[in-house]
Amino acid sequence: MDLAKIVRLVAVLFAVVAGLVAIPQSAVIIAVLGLVVGWFVEEDRRINYMLFTLTLALVHGALSPIPAVGGYLTDMLASLSSLANAGACTVIVMMTVDRIKP
């Protein structure tokens, strides 16, 4: 398993756990992990990652009406959405740098 997969796995696991359990400063940790995850997005997958981020941001609250588990699912997906949004910031910077450099 390479470093990129390990970073992604740790970030997703932390985001899921933070969605279920109140962890102090979890938003800051998720943001930092998201920035790091964005660094490891391959160049040919950047557009797909941006589409994933937009889609997750739009639909992460759709499961909240489900009785008993909807709130938990929504919180987990909201944490994953925050992780993906932070990663998208890194991807945007990397795409901009790639366009600027000769």
Residue 1 pLDDT: 82
Series of mean pLDDT values for 10-residue runs along the chain (102 residues): 93 94 94 96 95 94 87 93 97 95 82
Name the token pair of 100: 């600027």
pLDDT of residue 65: 87
- Torsion angles phi and psi, residue 41, rounded to 5: -75, 125
User: From its phi and psi, is residue 62 left (phi > 0), alpha (psi between -120 and 50) or beta?
Assistant: alpha
| pTM as predicted | 0.91
